[in-house]
Structure 1
Amino acid sequence: MTDLAAALAAIDAANAHDPDTSEGAPAAQLYGQRMTAELARLFPDAPDPLQIAARGQHIERWTKSRSDYPEGREGYLNWRRDLAKHHADRVGEIMREAGYSQEDAESAGRMIRKEGIKRNEDVQMLEDVICFVFLKWYFAPFSETQEPEKMQRIVAKTARKMSAEARARVLREFDLPENLASAFRT
């Protein structure tokens, strides 16, 4: 028998150890809870593996520091790849402990590693949720640290990852300046 509540609680327990409490709670735990809330709002009938992947997408993120990798794009991409593998592996372990099949754990892992973006419905739903969480919770503070031209490139890249339906919803739900909103109209 599978236990969704136990899987989500185990992810929260792992993320409770995040040393970053700058928002009043462990950052990875808060991020996972925001992901769950946004998934429930956007896709209320999401299957369990998608719900678990959303909650665990950044599980124990602080354990792999960007500073442990070389500077530059290659170092960044290697860091991101290693993080995704770690997140997928940990979520898979938790799912199996909560009674989920290996197939369900592998499905969640593919979502977390973003394998099949634009081709797999569940992977795309997770990506849309990730983008909404970024725009809702992290965009404003992040944009203050970036040059306007770089921010425009980041927003365009974010929009390209999203489904057409999600881009249209962004335009309805967010009051973006025209130079940024135009990225969501393509």
Structure 2
Amino acid sequence: MTQLQSVLNAIDTINEADINTTLVDGISHPKELLYGQHMSTCLEKYWPDANENLQIAVRAQHVKRWHLQRADFPIGKQGYLTWRKELGVFHAATAKSVMLAHGYSEEDAETTAAIIRKEQLKSNNDSQTLEDVACLVFLQHYFDAFAAKHKEEKIIRIVQLTWRKMSTQGQEVALTLTLAPHLAQLVAKALA
């Protein structure tokens, strides 16, 4: 087994302990395990030449996400942003620790952590690719459930915010996705 595969397996093992689950075809899966696998699948499909640090960052973006609960942070936008920032730091530190335990160098582990923290988002291609993959996975796998819970105005605003976070390449890939008609209509409204 390669060093990379050992790290990906270790991340999956951590995420198998997720207390939150997602139903797919009537089968319950640990939520963040499934998310990490969706992220890796998307990266492999659209960025097949991704380096190992990016491959690990994509898989670990939500590693052990349940550890920091949204309810433990203040209500409102500032509380939400603080929670998201702390999650990024936590996921990055967890991934770095796993990489070091599997023989990766301090430099590689820190590079991966910086990608997960989305440092230099618009100027670091790997950080931007992680953001693109997260946006594409949201559109492919989580957009329908999100749209079912919110008013059209909020959905359109979120799609517009998501779109602005993406690179031109990510946007081009997003336009090729096959979405349910009601979701495609919401995207079309957001981009009009």
* Partner Cα separation in structure 2 for residue 178 and residue 28 of structure 1: 28
How far 1:181 sits from its partner (Å)?
Answer: 2.8
Q: Which piece of structure 1 moves more, 22-31 or 65-74?
A: 22-31
Q: Verify the 8 A CA contact 1:168 1:184 in the aligned structure 2.
A: no
Cα drift, residue 178 of structure 1: 4.7
- Residues 88-107 of structure 1 correspond to what in structure 2 (within 5 A)? 88-107=92-111
**Residue in structure 2 matched with residue 9 of structure 1 by the alignment:** 9
Counterpart contact for 2:73–2:83, Cα < 8 Å: yes
Q: What TM-score do the two structures reach when normalised by structure 2?
A: 0.91
Indicate yes or no: 2:187 matched with 1:180: yes
Paired-residue identity, %? 44
Q: Provide the rounded CA distance (Å) in 2 between the counterparts of 1:47 and 1:184.
A: 32
**Of 82, 85, 101, which residue of structure 1 is paired with 2:89?**
85
Q: Secondary structure at the match of 1:174?
A: coil
CA distance in 1, matches of 2:100, 2:189: 43
Question: How far does the alpha carbon of each residue in 1:118-137 deviate from its partner, in whole angstroms, 9 at most, with x for none?
Answer: 11111111111111100000
Query: What are the Cα deviations for residues 32-78 of structure 1, in whole angstroms up to 9, with x where unaligned?
Result: 01111111001111110100000000000011000000101111011
Counterpart CA distance in 1 for 2:174 and 2:6 is 32
- One-letter amino acid of the structure 2 residue matched with residue 180 of structure 1: V
State how far apart, in whole Å, the 2-side matches of 1:170 and 1:184 are: 12
Native 8 Å contact 1:159 1:183 kept in 2? no
Letter in 1 for 2:71: S
The C-alpha deviation readout for 1:2-44, integer Å capped at 9, x for no partner, is 7001100110011111011232110011100111111100111
Q: Deviations over 1:100-135 (max 9, x none)?
A: 111111111111111111111111111111111000
Tell me, yes or no, if the aligned pair for 2:99 and 2:109 is still in contact at 8 Å: yes
**Structure 1 pair 184–54 and aligned structure 2 pair: CA distance change class (3 A):** farther
Are the counterparts in 1 of residues 36 and 60 from structure 2 also a CA contact under 8 Å? yes
Unaligned stretches of 5+ residues in structure 2: none
Across the aligned residues of Structure 1 and Structure 2, the Cα RMSD in angstroms comes to 1.5
Aligned-pair distance for 1:183? 4.6
Partner secondary structure for residue 25 of structure 1: strand
Aligned residues: 184
SS at match of 1:71: coil
Residues 132-147 of structure 1: pairs in structure 2 closer than 5 A: 132-147=136-151
What is the Cα deviation at residue 156 of structure 1?
Answer: 0.3
* Residues 85/8 of structure 1: CA separation in 2 closer, same or farther (3 Å cut): same
Question: Per residue, is there more strand in 1 or in 2?
Answer: 2
What TM-score do you get using the length of structure 1 for normalisation? 0.94
Q: For residue 65 of structure 1, what is the aligned residue in structure 2? A: 69
The gaps in structure 1 that reach 5 residues or longer are: none
